[in-house]
Amino acid sequence: MQPPVSEQILFQGSDFADWASLNDTIMGGRSRAGCHVSPEGLVLEGDLVETGGGFVSCRSPRLHPPLDLSPFSALQLDVEGEGRTLKIAIGCRDGAMGLTELIPGGLRWVVDAVTDPDGVTRVVVPFTELRPTVRAKPVGLPLRFDPSGITRIQVLHSKFGDAGDLNPGFRPGSIRMLIRSIRALP
């Protein structure tokens, strides 16, 4: 009998050093936000412009080798999100020999996360709640999330939610988000 799995810190403090911003400017938008590491964690700050795009984000580098989170059931993020509804997006290899990575815009497994207006919000993302999407549009293909092959983690504030509808917690303008840590939960 194997001992029970305990939570595992994936990113905290300097572990965020290689994370980078990805904003709507890749599709012609005008939002300007950047990521940097502070003593408290990963900070995303800048200006979010809704017209022509409407998203800002921080994302991990491509994880080589992929993270094997198969012993775990969820991610936990401790984040200061200003009361915004964030989108957590996870890239993973799939059962189609990695072909989803060839989809323009990339397939991501996403879920919305509501944050408190003040202080730290503990967001738990069960793997069973993740939905496959491409460019904020749900995918109807019979794909399965593979926690043994996590290739990227991204935290976004977007005008679109995880189901492709408008995000009711979207707020353009000045943004400052702090991700204190990301953990894997049993």
Domain with residue 51: its CATH number is 2.60.120.260
pLDDT of residue 53: 87
- Euclidean distance between CA atoms 34 and 19, whole angstroms: 10
| Domain annotation covers residue 168 | yes
Please report, in tens digits, the pLDDT of each residue of the chain (186 residues total). Answer: 666 789 999 999 999 999 999 999 988 899 999 999 999 999 999 999 999 889 999 999 999 999 999 999 999 999 999 999 999 999 987 555 555 555 655 789 999 999 999 999 999 999 999 999 887 788 877 788 889 999 999 999 999 887 778 999 999 999 999 999 999 999
CA distances from 20 to 28, 116, 152, 160 (A): 19, 24, 12, 21
* 3-state secondary structure (DSSP) of residue 19: coil
| Domain annotation covers residue 94 | yes
| Domain annotation covers residue 45 | yes
Cβ neighbours for 120, distance < 8 A, ≥ 6 positions apart: 78, 79, 80, 180
| Domain annotation covers residue 1 | no
- Euclidean distance between CA atoms 15 and 26, whole angstroms: 26
CB 16 within 8 A of CB 42: yes
The count of domains in the chain is 1
The candidate with the shortest Cα–Cα distance to 90, out of 151, 20, 134, 179, is 151
CB 35 within 8 A of CB 23: no
The residue whose two tokens read 């492709």 is 164
Q: State the residue range of the domain holding 146.
A: 8-185
pLDDT of residue 5: 81
pTM above 0.85, yes or no: yes
Would you call the peptide bond into 186 cis, given omega within 30 degrees of 0 as the criterion?
A: no
pLDDT of residue 162: 78
| Domain annotation covers residue 3 | no
| Domain annotation covers residue 111 | yes
Q: Which two tokens stand for residue 178?
A: 């702090």
| Domain annotation covers residue 101 | yes
Residue type present at position 19: W
| Domain annotation covers residue 74 | yes
- Euclidean distance between CA atoms 60 and 89, whole angstroms: 11
pLDDT of residue 80: 98
pLDDT of residue 111: 95
DSSP 104: T
